[in-house]
Structure 1
């Protein structure tokens, strides 16, 4: 593999590692609609557990895609939103959506859904 190909491969691998997992792209999708509180995000995602959502949000924060804003109030009020870097993924998600819509008949149903 040439140096340029290796560098390109490593960049793609870094992106895939940062957004991999069952929930991360869906979290980014919902946050692209606007900032969201934890419980609303969990309702939007459906069957995600509290622990998994917490872990996925933390990983997305560490990767620089998601911002957590704590309003320091009682009762606690925390909102999540996309950073500028996270917002830069929105065109990629739109492309993925369009591709999936064009190829829906060739794709298996998402796990947990009836066939």
Structure 2
């Protein structure tokens, strides 16, 4: 009688989900990146075309904005809607998961607004320390 052998291991092991240390760690894995929280914030308004996002998220390069949009789409936070028209028409919307995440960021927006004047003073002082250190 022939001996049964287990199948050979696959060349590509199954992907392993990242282990999170806490809920904040999981959240930060999604929103990490300088511009992602702002992208989420501006998408709360509803479907938004690329050009509108580019104007809203000032100072972001095209390369980084496109990269962040692709990552957020891969993470299930936003949806890219391609209308298959000529000229091309594409917009971005938040998924249900993305909406809940963007709403969770709203208290941070409120905190920033309430403390903006004090934060500006702190950053001016911090910048002066950096200049003194280099002189």
Give the shorter-chain TM-score range.
Answer: 0.7 to 0.9
Structure 2: gaps (5+ residues): 1-18, 128-135
2:35 to 2, 23, 45: 23
Q: State the TM-score, normalizing by the size of structure 2.
A: 0.69
How much has 1:50 moved relative to structure 2? Answer: 1.1
How far apart are residue 8 of structure 1 and its match?
Answer: 7.4
State the Cα deviation string for residues 28-54 of structure 1 (Å, max 9, x = none).
011001111111111111211111110
Instruction: State the TM-score, normalized to the length of structure 1.
Output: 0.80
Larger-gyration structure (1/2): 2
What is the CA distance between 1:103 and its match in structure 2?
A: 2.2
Give the distance between the partners of 1:40 and 1:84, measured in 2 at CA.
Answer: 21
Name the Cα RMSD after superposition: 2.2
Distance 1:98 1:54 in 2: 27
Structure 1: gaps spanning 5 or more residues:
1-6
Residue 59, structure 1, aligned to residue 63, structure 2: no
What count of residue pairs does the alignment treat as equivalent? 105
After TM superposition, give the deviation of residue 62 of structure 1 in Å.
0.8
